[in-house]
Structure 1
Amino acid sequence: MAGILLAAAAMLPFDGQPGDGLARFVGRFHVLLLHFPVTLLLLAPLLSLASRFNFLPNAKPFVRLVWWLGSIAAFFTVGMGMLLAANEGYALNEVREHMLGGICVALLAFIATALYEKNSQSKQDKIRQNQVTPNKVWFNTIYGSVSSALVVAIFIAAHAGGNLVHGDTYLTRFAPEPFGTWLRPEQDGSALQASQLAQIDDAHFNQKVRPLLDKYCFGCHGADTQKGGIQLDNLSPDFVNSHDAPNWHAALDMINTGEMPPKKKQQPSDAERRILVDWLTEGILLAKEAKKGESKQVIRRLTKQQYSNTLQDLLGINVDFADLLPDDPLSHMGFSNSGELLQSSTLHLETFEQIARNALDKAIDPEQKPKVHHYRMVFGKDQGIGEPHSLSRGYMDVPVSTNDFYVEVLKQDDAEAASTPDAIKNVKKYFSASMRGSYAQHFKTQQQGIDLYSATPHVEIVKSGKYGTWNTPSPNLSMQIKDHYPLSGDFMMRVKASKANAFSVTLSGVAATQAIPPAITLDKHGQPKLANSVNFAAQVKANFAVEGFSLDKHNPELARPEKGNGVKTIQLPLKLAQSRTPNFYQIDMVHEGATQPSEFEVSLNYKHRFKVKLPAAAKAQQGKLMVSSLGVAYIGGRNHTVVVKGTDKIPAFTDVVLTKVDADSAVAKQMPLKTVNHKIAQNNQPILMPYVGTRTDDGVDYKHFAQGQVVKGEVGDSQVYEFKGRLENLPIPPHGTLGDNITSSSLKLGVWNDDKVKTQQQKGSVINVEYIEFEAPYFESWPTASHQQIFIDSNLEQGSQAYAEQVIHAFANRAFRRSVTKDELAPYLGFYQEIASEFPRFEDGVKEALVAILCSPNFLYLAEPNIESQLADTTTEMPSAVSQFAELFGFSQAQASSSSNSNSQAISEYALASRLSYFIWNSAPDAELLKLASQGELRQQLPQQLARMVGESDKLNRFVSVFAKEWLRLDRQQMMTVDAETFPDYTRFVKQDMAQETVQFIQTLIQQDLTGLNLIESDFAVLNQNLAEFYGIEGVKGNTFRQVQLDDSQPRGGLLAQGAFLTGHGDGVHSHPVKRAVWLKSKILGDEPPPPPPNVPELDPETPGFEKLTLKQQLELHRDKDSCRDCHAKIDPYGIVFENYDAVGRYRAEYKGAPVDSLSVLPDGAEVAGLQEIKAYLLNEQADKVMLSLTKHLFAYALGKDVSFHDDAELAAILAAAKDENYRMQSLLLAIVTSPSFNQS
């Protein structure tokens, strides 16, 4: 019987999972029977003792019966108890003490019964032999000891059982001392402190602390008023057992920083403040100690993005598999990978199976190779005469004549096109060519090919009859196909193209410029000076008197228009260096700053003229000179005349200066088309940008699917450029869509010249497109790489049971991201064996098992076993029954090799590989990480592997894109509707480049291992040509993002001057200081302001003179209201400093005709003016705070959980390690991945 109980203790599954059936039913009788053996087993020793001292001499015959009944009852009770524990969802560590007590009771009962039986038998033998039966001392000693131990074991088992059912203080809660101390479970220091706190703190809190809170805090944060949504009077003073410690921690931070109580409120004395701070600090430390041993991790489902990335890497197919899944919820810190929130709904489970089946259908080749559609559309003047193609028709269409293109059917596997020439003609009628939405002046059909000039971005305003509205950029050229194309699979688009010449037009002219900084500055004597004197072309002084002008008496070089009516005109002779070809010149004026806006006309040689409007100058005063850029000239020759003409609103000026500028400068690009010889534009890099989409009623729904390629070589040097894509990822039309003509709802495959220009008057570079070719599905090999990756090479017979097992095992290892045990694999192999006969094709049967693997929690979740469970899985370990038996008695091997804290153990190497990979790559670990994990060497090679991983740009970008978007709320910029009338050049291309700027900037910091302080200020930006031109930065060519060095005149360094943040935190028309301030405080400083109270009054535009107020003055008016004052006083100063940046993030010096006032006084009294000074303040005064905020967000993302005050010590250690390395980004990442939390369960 003892053996049976011990075997049951070793064999029953105490795994925390509930069971069912007969065992669970029988186990539930445990509580019904347990009183019977307890009574008997207590009675037996008492009867023995009574008979031994002749208190009950007649009790001896009953002792034997009681022992036997008690022992048998103990056997069944303990057995039922183990069945109950194993089937009611208990883990071994939960029932260990109670179970050990019960087993000891049963074993001691068996021993006592055996001893009594043996002694009785010995006495009977002596009597039969007429021998004297002496009183055996050894028997009395052993029998008494066993009986006493049995009584103690019964009480221990009963006490553990009561604690298990009613809590661990069931017996000791009301026990008098010292019995309570003796019986109470052992407590470590923190638990003892917590217990003492619960006893001591009530009196201290009520007598000392609460009166202070009532006096200084509850008035604004009590039952009647909750400013900022914060209520303190309902928080529990029990830091350990309540959930209010984080709220007390926030209150402590407010007191320590001096933000609370507000300065205008009554302040506590130093002694009172010390009482509050000491009580809060002590309580928070105790709460941290009490929680120190708890596991910080929860099992995490793969996020939507991680799921798609993992499937792509596992199957080798570039398809967005997660588009059917709902978006993941965001945590308080803004991240989508929070384990606590990543629940799996019924919708998720159903969709996971659907996606898995669909994904494997794409990865596993069909029995027959699919039909390939391969077409080429060739362009050229009169090249397609007589061909049966269709003419593209529809709203805003700009068709290519059917005479100017023809289609070659290079390979068409369907019977319709393969039979006869007539069948091929029938296919060709479903083809057309279109330039829909293109300006006729921006493309030209040549004898060979069609010339495409640089594209103008879409018109973002819906205007009937307006070219470019709801279309691709203009011009764009597309091949349109109706129905004769596949709906899925890889495809290849080939374009044969070359650089082309542009035509020449008028060779001189002038134009006004917008938002261009002057090319010159003034020296200390007020004379113009250039950084590069080589470009200095001509300077003409106005130091002579003419009618309508007089020289200033204080500065005889200053020509001032005389007051009064009439037109004032001054002619300035200009001499340039002799040049055979025209050049671009920037025209600047040195003038007196005026308090009122100025308007006048500037002309060149009496025929080329433009209007000038100069705003009022900030802090203008008489005689103080400044420089303004007036315009741009494109002229040749030597002698010219500059004429300034206007009323007395012409500013007093001393000089007009012409500076030679490059043809590709931002100034030159503002010259209208009709003025410029466009051969110079070939200095630009023409770029082929491919797109695929659906022709719609009013335009096209499209996406570009590959990076644009620079057209190389000389003019006329044609090359073929290849672009690979996936049809499922693109907005392609279904087959059989009806319409007004045969081209309705066609598939569009097109290109444009992505060397974009800003206006219709510019042409830029030119690309000649000879043909567009389309091949789909496209196979680089057959069988495909994805098929061969699943059905691996093997010496086993293809189609055999052994080969199927090998395939399933290899796939499971990769899908589960670790080595899969035979027991784990068995259900999938068994499932395959059951269903294999239902599928005539071997691959289809295997696919069903693979679908099951992809629906397993081991694939869908980041299962992170600790070392203990890893050891239990290895074949060299002792058998599981022996292991469980050893664990029952506290001799587990895993325990000996891991942390003494069972709730916080080191995770396995495989789990570390996954945790590292889903942090840095947002996807599964690669073969190298898994190999190191299998060898047990990953943990010691973390520095080397981290350096390798950040070097893989495409994979790293998966992490940076998600992290930057969620940390910095880049989604707000993508969702912001910017007013296109106010900002016509804020195109969708600028919009997408702004988001990429932030991502590429952070990725550059990581890959180049630069200091994280660059987030505040850097001497470089990461830009492409499109975004650089939008910001007014010259010299950046091409669409590729790259580092651009900045000088002092270009305030674009760091995150704070990036358009994604500035645009996302405006309102689409105006800047928004409050939104920008909240972002800065919460994301950069890690100091999130409380949410605004309900029904906050808006800025009141009906206030007299409201429209004339600056935004800073409007906010001050709003802040004067009682309901707004306190919070805004701590928020607004951080937003005012951004006022030099408008709603789309461009720099401005004035707003509503008045100079921008960006001077701000921060809550700590620091005075800063503008963005550069707030950057300096953050670097000098708040650098550690900024880096702590970055660390917190990286730490939260890495672990999939929000951080709390419990993490303070670990975050401080990470920050200190990074600070020692000057906050270099890879050092910070390494400190996180080597931290205890990252390496423990």
Structure 2
Amino acid sequence: MRLSFMMLAFFAGASIVSAAEPFEAFLQNHCIRCHGPETVERDLRIDQLSRDFRSGQDGHLWAEIVERINAGEMPPEDEPQPSENEIATVISQLDSRIREGRAARMAARPPVSHYRLSRREYQNTIYDLLGVRYDPSQPGELNADPLWHGFERIGSQLSLSPSHVERYYRASEIVLDRAFPEHPVESQTIRKTAAEIRYNGGQRQQAYLDRFGIKLPLRALIFPGRELQALRPHWFGAGASKSGLYRARLQISGVRPPYGQTPHLRIGKRTGEGTNEGLIELDILAPEDEPEIIEFEVFLEMPTSLDFNVVVTDIISRDKGGHHRNILGGSDYVFTHTSETKLLNPTGPKLFDENGNGIFSFVLLDWIEWEGPIESDAERATRTDIMPPGDATLEVVVQHLNRFAQRAWRRPVADDELRPYLEAYEEELAAGEDRKSAYQVALLGVLNSRNFTYLVEGDTQPRERLNDWELASRLSYFLWSSMPDQALFDAAAEGKLTEDELAKHVDRMLADPKMDRFVQDFPRQWLQLHRVGMFPPDGKLYPEYDVWLEASMREEVIQYFREVFASNLSIDHFITSDWTMANARLCEFYGVTMPKTSGVQKVSLKPEHHRGGLLTMGAILGLTSDGTRHRPVHRGVWISEAIFAKTPPPPPANVDPIEPNPPDSPKATIRQKIKAHTQNANCAACHRNIDPLGLAFDQFDAIGQWRTHERVEKGTGADPPVDPSGEMPDGRMFADAEQFKQLLLGDRDRFLQGLVEHLCSYGLRRVLTVDDQEDIQAIVEEAKRKNYQLKDIVRAVALSDIMKKR
């Protein structure tokens, strides 16, 4: 729950202070002087907050006041302090008044709530409903979802505009065409050798090899700045009907110069800017003499073309230029093996030094094989009983349509609700359409109903709790980001989603492969990973940064969360650990021992690596930077939001930004500038709580590199040393990030509560309120009994009372 103490609504017509309230004397003695008619600190007028607790108008503000008093943050240290007995009394009084109004506030809620599916949820639901793949994030498809603190599924944010309606209709047509194609789509397997891809068949080049008696096969040399086609549109024939899942296998190896980067291959669509949009990213660790076969699956919208592109920072163009690349890419440059290069083209550009080491990173491709579109038996079975038989009576058509609508709308459906769609079916038949086409019109209507695109909770008569059908959907969209499966539907129909049966279903869902969607979606939204790369780092300041490093950083976070969840580890691992999940590129960046195989894997960390836990990951450190410098205040705000679920207030209006260092002044760290910046009394109170959280990580620059001195571009003197020490708001001291993380471990209960609140916002699809606090606390206590283990925390949320309430 995010209750910002400074983002306060000021209501001119709010109730005036009443002397009858028992807590008014405390407020008058300790609060009104700073938050009353004479002084209005942080835009808060306590004297004008509503005392009508039943309306809940200012309930969240009163709850925040209770929390601040209880934590000793109000009144501030330089003001007269109340006794412990006074504090306990006023907290009890305010808390009881807040609780008294809960039933009235619940009764005032609208009887029906609508929560639109996010793009990713729409994609998953379509797949689970029809067994077909559809990518709503492609250009021209569904609109992007607005975010609330990183979450893309908050109902109040997901409105519906005319453009949404139009795009939903088009999306429905696409998925139905894929589910029920006019002609069956046959899967094909296409293999292309390096000779075909690189040398247009390679007959002339092979004859050249034969003259020298060289028995090695032709290989495709892919080097930085050179693109080579990995898939051409005509290989599988034309037509969007061939869109679907494709499996690729390729035999590949690489050459890495001493102390250079591991060769990295990106396979993706050309963007027209000399790069391509990566669909697949691969570190190539196999040596030239021992190529490996790599296999992957990817969804492709057909027709399409894909390119190979080697991506490394130390690219050849920096010292060799276009002429060098053109010669290497020409048809006269024949390549089979490094030991043959001088013999085959003695006047060509130099690829290796006198010791046979590569002078830059490149990739060797032997062949690639594509198979698709691939469709499993389970996917086909999903559509088995959707289409009625060709000779079906209207009664049978109604039965089929009702079954489909019940699954699509995730609840029982009355026949009269289907009347408009059946009328459309009959009108299509009358106009001469065949039965299949006419029935697809009816299906189109079901998929464009708000009952499909929205999760609907409640009915005309207000009620506090979800029914079993609604609970089944809430659970499935929480854990699977999709519709319930048949077992959940059956349990809802039989009224069995209670107590022991509910626990069995939750355990079953936690063990299902579809939990991978939760692992992918929740940390991405919770940790605000959409901000990674939002401000691309300056290439001159950070030449070691590239798009593959950025993607590797983002993947580290997801895979780390996956490992903690799958192993049911304590959430302490999110704060600090002696391991992480990294690929070769990230290991190079961190200075960690390189893995021997491709892909992300668990690697050990030592103290000298200065890593461990989420807070020192490159992605987390980078998402709070602006591309040129680190921003300690933003890092502090992120920790407050992500770790403690507390959103600090926005800065006051007209606050001067931190300016670059003047050329004629001594070089100063950002920390020193912040200290001068916060001399303003309006800023100091908030910065006291925010700055220590970010300054602890000052030994990491804008892209998360470890450093001991801050690089200051302008100014006189040497670059100043970094000072990561600080003092927590409660007076605890720390010397650096490691000591800071140990203090956070001491606050694990606060972190646990914050994590539970994030999980509940994600699962409930709404912002939490003061009325949720008892339920949140019950989950926290259950999680503590389970030793703070992540999977058990998720299970406790799924089984909690708050998940059963509207």
Structure 1 residue 916, shift from structure 2 partner: 0.8
What does residue 727 of structure 1 align with?
Answer: 301
Secondary structure of residue in 1 paired with 2:602: strand
The residue aligned with 2:734 is 1168
> In the aligned structure 1, how far is the partner of 2:675 from the partner of 2:572?
32
Residues in 1 aligned to 2:503 and 2:359: alpha-carbon distance in whole angstroms: 51
Q: Which residue of 2 aligns with 1:1192?
A: 757
Correspondence for 2:268: 691
Please, which of 442, 453, 471 is the counterpart of residue 912 of structure 1? 471
- Residue 147 of structure 2 is matched in structure 1 by 330
Query: In the TM superposition, what are the counterparts of 1:670-685 in structure 2 within 5 Å?
Result: 670=259
Residue by residue over 1:895-937, the C-alpha shift from the partner in whole angstroms, topping out at 9 and shown as x without a partner, is xxxxxx97223521x3222111100111112233323333444
Query: For residues 464-503 of structure 1, what are the structure 2 equivalents within 5 Å?
Result: 468=225, 476=228, 478=230, 486=238, 488=240, 489-490=242-243, 498=251
**Aligned AA for 1:1027?**
L
1:187-220 deviation per Cα after TM superposition (whole angstroms, max 9, x unaligned): xxxxxxxxxxx99983324xx7657646654554
Q: Give the aligned partner of residue 813 of structure 1.
A: 406
Aligned pair partner of 2:113 in 276, 293, 298:
298
Report the CA distance between 1:1165 and its aligned residue: 0.9
1:120-154 CA-to-partner distances (Å, cap 9, x unmatched) read xxxxxxxxxxxxxxxxxxxxxxxxxxxxxxxxxxx
Match runs of 1:1032-1047 below 5 Å: 1032-1047=591-606
Aligned counterparts of 1:266 and 1:203: Cα–Cα separation in 2: 22
Which of 728, 751, 756 matches 2:308? 751
CA distance in 2, matches of 1:370, 1:1227: 44
Equivalent-residue separation in structure 1 for 2:694 and 2:165 (angstroms)? 45
The answer as to 2:777 corresponding to 1:1203 is: no
CA displacement 1:680-716 (0-9 Å, x = unmatched) = xxxx9x887533436x3x425x334357597989948
Letter aligned with residue 147 of structure 2: L
Q: Distance in 2 between matches of 1:1065 and 1:711?
A: 32
Question: Are the equivalent residues in 1 in contact too, given 2:246–2:374 (CA < 8 A)?
Answer: no
Cα deviation for residue 806 of structure 1 reads 4.5
Does residue 496 of structure 2 align to residue 947 of structure 1? no
Asked if 1:1224 corresponds to 2:784, the answer is no
Matched, 1:1128 2:700: no
Contact 1:493–1:773, Cα closer than 8 Å, also in 2: no
Residues 1:860 and 2:453 aligned together: yes
CA distance in 1, matches of 2:106, 2:250: 66
How far apart, in 1, do the equivalents of 2:62 and 2:215 lie? 76
CA–CA distance in 2 between the matches of 1:275 and 1:1176? 34
Residue number in structure 1 paired with 2:131: 316
- The yes-or-no answer on 1:251 pairing with 2:62 is no
User: Are the equivalent residues in 2 in contact too, given 1:1150–1:1156 (CA < 8 A)?
Assistant: yes
Q: Which amino acid is 2:133 matched to?
A: N
Q: Give the counterpart of 2:397 among 793, 801, 804.
A: 804
- 1:1205 deviates by 1.5
Q: CA 1:222 to 1:326, structure 2 compared with 1: closer, same or farther past 3 Å?
A: farther
Q: 1:1092 aligns with which of 642, 648, 651?
A: 651
Matched, 1:968 2:514: no
1:1214 is matched with 779
Do structure 1's residue 769 and structure 2's residue 342 form an aligned pair? no
Over 3 Å counting, the alpha-carbon distance change for 1:1222 and 1:763 in structure 2 is: farther
Equivalence for 2:162: 346
Relative to structure 1, the CA distance from residue 975 to residue 405 in structure 2 (aligned partners, 3 Å threshold; closer, same or farther) is farther
Q: Per-residue CA shift, 1:407-429, capped at 9, x if unaligned?
A: xxxxxxxxxxxxxxxxxxxxxxx
1:266-285 equivalent positions in 2, closer than 5 A: 267=81, 276-277=90-91, 279-285=93-99
Report the residue type matching 1:337 in the other structure. Answer: R
Change (3 A) 1:942 1:1005: farther
Alignment-derived partner of residue 921 in structure 1 = 480
CA contact (8 A) 1:490 1:724 kept: no
| Secondary structure in 1 matching 2:279 | coil
SS at match of 1:326: coil
Q: Distance in 2 between matches of 1:846 and 1:794?
A: 8
Alpha carbons of 1:214 and 1:669: their partners in 2 closer, same or farther (altered >3 Å)? Answer: farther
Structure 1: gaps spanning 5 or more residues? 1-197, 388-400, 407-444, 457-467, 469-473, 503-663, 673-683, 733-746, 870-900
Distance in 1, matches of 2:429 and 2:378, equals 24
- Counterpart contact for 2:176–2:440, Cα < 8 Å: yes
Aligned-partner SS, 1:380: helix
Shift of 1:1145: 1.1
Distance (whole Å) between structure 1 residues aligned to residue 78 and residue 720 of structure 2? 33
Once residues 495 and 355 of structure 1 are traced to their aligned partners in structure 2, the CA distance between those partners, rounded to angstroms, is 27
Going from structure 1 to structure 2, the CA distance change for 1:1063 and 1:216 (only over 3 Å counts) comes to same
Q: Which stretch shows the higher mean deviation, 705-714 or 819-828? A: 705-714
Correspondences of 1:1152-1163 after superposition (within 5 Å): 1152=711, 1153-1163=719-729
Amino acid at match of 1:703: E
Partner-residue secondary structure (3-state), 2:299: strand
AA of the residue aligned to 1:354: R
In 2: Cα distance, 1:969 partner to 1:709 partner? 26
Give the conservation status (yes or no) of the 8 Å contact 1:1159–1:1168. Answer: yes
Larger Rg: 1
Q: Is the 8 A contact 1:1025 1:1039 kept in 2?
A: yes
Deviations 1:12-70 (A, max 9, x none): xxxxxxxxxxxxxxxxxxxxxxxxxxxxxxxxxxxxxxxxxxxxxxxxxxxxxxxxxxx
Aligned partners of 1:865 and 1:912: how far apart in 2?
Answer: 11
> Separation in 1 of the partners of 2:389 and 2:245?
36
1:727 Cα offset (Å): 1.7
Q: Secondary structure at the match of 2:682?
A: coil
TM-score by length of 1: 0.54
- Could you say which residue in structure 2 is the equivalent of 1:449? 218
Unaligned runs of 5+ in 2: 1-13, 208-213, 317-356, 712-718
Letter in 2 for 1:1048: P
> Is the 8 Å Cα contact of residues 250 and 369 (structure 2) preserved in structure 1?
no
Length, aligned pairs only: 735
Does 1:841 find its partner at 2:431?
Answer: no
Higher RCO (CA-CA < 8 Å; seq separation 6+)? 2
Q: Secondary structure of 1:1005's match? A: helix
Which residue number in structure 1 is paired with residue 7 of structure 2? Answer: none
In 2 relative to 1, CA 263–501 (structure 1 residues): closer, same or farther, beyond 3 Å?
closer
Note if 1:1082 corresponds to 2:641: yes
Aligned to 2:352: none
Preserved contact between residue 535 and residue 626 of structure 2 (Cα < 8 Å):
yes
Task: Answer yes or no: is 1:365 the counterpart of 2:181.
Answer: yes
Tell me, yes or no, if the aligned pair for 1:497 and 1:768 is still in contact at 8 Å.
Answer: no
Which position in structure 2 is the counterpart of 1:421? none
Give the SS at the match of 1:1228: helix
The one-character-per-residue Cα deviations of 1:788-815 (angstroms, maximum 9, x if unpaired) are 7435399955565455345423322321
Would you say the 8 A contact 1:1160–1:1168 is kept in 2?
A: yes
User: 1:511-530 alignment to 2 at 5 Å?
Assistant: none
Partner Cα separation in structure 2 for residue 1000 and residue 229 of structure 1? 42
Which position in structure 1 is the counterpart of 2:328?
Answer: none
Q: Could you tell me which amino acid in structure 2 is paired with residue 1120 of structure 1?
A: Q
State the identity %: 28
1:999 is paired with a residue of what secondary structure? helix
AA at the equivalent of 1:853: V
Cα distance in 2 for partners of 1:1091, 1:983 equals: 30
Q: Which amino acid aligns with 2:142?
A: L
Distance 1:492 1:1218, change over 3 A: closer
| Cα distance per residue 1:150-175 (max 9 Å; x no partner) | xxxxxxxxxxxxxxxxxxxxxxxxxx
Distance 1:1048 1:1103 in 2: 37
